[in-house]
């Protein structure tokens, strides 16, 4: 592809130690031959309007003083957006994407629940205003999740047994705590959760493969035309007796794992739904959060093979794709953000 210009694209990361490793991956899949450099918030020299960045030029790693890039791709995973907001003032609105990538799960649930995607969402409540004992009467299985969380950290599984005891689990289905029939479950949870904000989600009776829980992660990215596209659909299979799929034993291409488990017609319907629903979810998330270039949508299949959206992630883990056989998936994972950055550099406009 012939480029009208070779803009400078800046990749913003949290740590200087990670710069070389991360840039090496994007540079490898830089089929557009864009000029790339990578930097951290502390590398910005605001008064000089310059950035200390690391780049790879003609096979040589160089740390240099660069002008501000035309576009910034944010790979810092935090809730603070002051740096991005200041960069936007310097280089222009809608030239920084994924400014917010540490998603508030409660805000996103409320946004999606007002759309046609509601049918794919488990019932979800704010923990602060919920009576867990009452919810367990309606939903014998619940998950309690922090508003801000990743990799399944601090996600508790709450299950009411037939005899009335309540199991509280973390990561695995084996209970860490058991509340007897007459014990105060709310008091125990308050003690465990502390002051952080949590939500309570209806538990889904998940389908399993070889007795192991799995989820379906759809990576949605914008392309060189600025349009949302699905780059990869994968399954993370948890260790046996673990519900946290972030602690996965194996990673598979969706087609490889489930095409043999489901009847062809049902498999094709599920695949089409995953594509359509994920793009719709990305559009809704962007309306709420501002300019985005990529995110992932996590689904589970229940025992009747109905799809449920479990959560959206604004900074998808990319090393999880390393074990896949498909080279084309890995290429998309790293090349699509660069395509979108080029699109923004050539045609600044309000995001789609």
DSSP of 272-315: HHHHHHHHHHHHHHHHHH---SEEEEEEEEBTT--EEEEEEESS
Q: Is residue 350 predicted with pLDDT exceeding 50? A: no
Place of tokens 């629940």: 113
Residue ending a domain, choose from 187, 202, 217: 202
Give domain status of residue 66, yes or no: yes
Alpha carbon separation from 67 to 28, 37, 53, 315 (Å, rounded): 23, 11, 10, 26
Give domain status of residue 3, yes or no: no
Residue ending a domain, choose from 202, 218, 249: 202
Q: The domain spanning residue 66 has which CATH number?
A: 3.40.50
pLDDT of residue 2: 53
Residue 301 pairs in a beta bridge with 307
Give domain status of residue 192, yes or no: yes
Residues 195 and 246 reside in one and the same domain: no
pLDDT of residue 81: 85
Task: Report residue 317 as tokens.
Answer: 């883990």
Q: Is residue 27 predicted with pLDDT exceeding 90? A: yes
Give domain status of residue 69, yes or no: yes
Range of the domain at 59: 8-97
* Residue 335 · residue 29 · CB < 8 Å: yes
Task: Report residue 185 as tokens.
Answer: 């479950």
Q: Is residue 3 predicted with pLDDT exceeding 70? A: no
User: Count of domains in the chain?
Assistant: 3
* Nearest Cα residue to 237 out of 301, 176, 297, 295: 301
Q: List, for residues 92-121, the tens digit of each pLDDT value.
A: 988 999 999 999 999 999 999 999 999 999
- 3-class DSSP state for residue 197? coil
pLDDT of residue 228: 98
Q: List, for residues 51-87, the tens digit of each pLDDT value.
A: 999 999 889 999 999 999 999 999 998 778 899 999 9
Q: Is residue 329 predicted with pLDDT exceeding 60? A: yes
Give domain status of residue 63, yes or no: yes
Residues 180 and 155 reside in one and the same domain: yes
Give domain status of residue 331, yes or no: yes
Alpha carbon separation from 54 to 110, 131, 137, 340 (Å, rounded): 40, 52, 57, 21
pLDDT of residue 352: 43
Residues 78 and 181 reside in one and the same domain: no
Residues 158 and 250 reside in one and the same domain: no
Residues 34 and 51 reside in one and the same domain: yes
Q: List, for residues 141-190, the tens digit of each pLDDT value.
A: 999 999 998 888 899 999 999 888 999 999 999 999 999 988 899 999 99
Chain mean pLDDT for the chain? 93
Q: Label residue 348 by pLDDT band (50, 70, 90).
A: low
pLDDT of residue 58: 87
Residues 79 and 113 reside in one and the same domain: no
pLDDT of residue 164: 87
Q: Is residue 302 predicted with pLDDT exceeding 60? A: yes
pLDDT of residue 99: 93
Residues 136 and 235 reside in one and the same domain: no
Residues 217 and 291 reside in one and the same domain: yes
Give domain status of residue 312, yes or no: yes
* Nearest Cα residue to 28 out of 291, 245, 335, 310: 335
Q: From the CB of residue 329, how many other CB atoms can be counted at a distance below 10 Å?
A: 16
Q: Is residue 298 predicted with pLDDT exceeding 90? A: yes
Residues 216 and 294 reside in one and the same domain: yes
Q: Label residue 351 by pLDDT band (50, 70, 90).
A: very low
pLDDT of residue 152: 82
Q: List, for residues 208-267, the tens digit of each pLDDT value.
A: 999 999 999 999 999 999 999 999 999 999 999 999 998 887 889 999 999 989 999 999
Give domain status of residue 1, yes or no: no
Residues 216 and 340 reside in one and the same domain: yes
Q: Label residue 270 by pLDDT band (50, 70, 90).
A: very high
Residues 158 and 210 reside in one and the same domain: no
Residues 281 and 330 reside in one and the same domain: yes
If one compares 189 and 351, the residue with the highest pLDDT of the two is 189
Residue ending a domain, choose from 184, 202, 220: 202
pLDDT of residue 46: 96
- Residues 53 and 47: their CA atoms lie apart, in Å, by 16
Q: The domain spanning residue 219 has which CATH number?
A: 3.30.470.20
């Amino acid at each position: 592809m012939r480029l009208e210009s070779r803009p400078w694209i800046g990749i913003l990361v949290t740590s200087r130690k990670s710069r070389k490793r991360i840039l090496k991956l994007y540079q490898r899949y830089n089929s557009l031959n864009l000029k790339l450099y990578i930097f951290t918030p502390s590398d910005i020299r605001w008064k000089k309007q310059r950035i200390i960045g690391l780049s790879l030029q003609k096979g040589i790693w160089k740390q240099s003083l660069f002008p501000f890039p035309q576009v910034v791709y944010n790979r810092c995973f935090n809730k603070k957006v002051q740096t991005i907001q200041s960069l936007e003032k310097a280089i222009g609105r809608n030239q920084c994407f994924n400014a917010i990538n540490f998603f508030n799960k409660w805000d996103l649930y409320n946004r999606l629940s007002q759309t046609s995607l509601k049918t794919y969402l488990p019932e979800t409540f704010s923990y602060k205003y919920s009576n867990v004992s009452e919810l367990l009467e309606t939903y014998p299985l619940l998950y309690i999740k922090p508003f801000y969380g990743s990799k399944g950290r601090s996600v508790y599984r709450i299950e009411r047994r037939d005899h009335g005891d309540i199991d509280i689990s973390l990561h695995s289905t084996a209970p860490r705590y058991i509340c007897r029939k007459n014990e105060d479950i709310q008091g125990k949870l308050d003690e465990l959760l502390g002051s952080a904000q949590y939500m309570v989600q209806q538990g889904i009776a998940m389908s399993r493969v070889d007795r192991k829980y799995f989820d379906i992660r759809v990576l949605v990215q914008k392309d060189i035309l600025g349009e949302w596209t699905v780059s990869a659909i994968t399954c993370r299979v948890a260790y046996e007796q673990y519900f946290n799929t972030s602690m996965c034993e194996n990673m598979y291409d969706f087609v490889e794992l489930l095409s043999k488990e489901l009847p062809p017609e049902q498999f094709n319907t599920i695949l089409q739904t995953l594509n359509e629903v994920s793009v719709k979810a990305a559009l809704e998330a962007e309306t709420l959060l501002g300019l985005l270039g990529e995110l992932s949508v996590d689904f589970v299949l229940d025992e009747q093979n109905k799809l449920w959206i479990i959560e959206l992630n604004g900074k998808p883990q990319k090393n999880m794709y390393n074990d896949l056989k498909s080279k084309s998936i890995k290429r998309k994972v790293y090349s699509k953000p660069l395509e979108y950055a080029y699109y923004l550099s050539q045609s600044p406009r309000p995001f789609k």
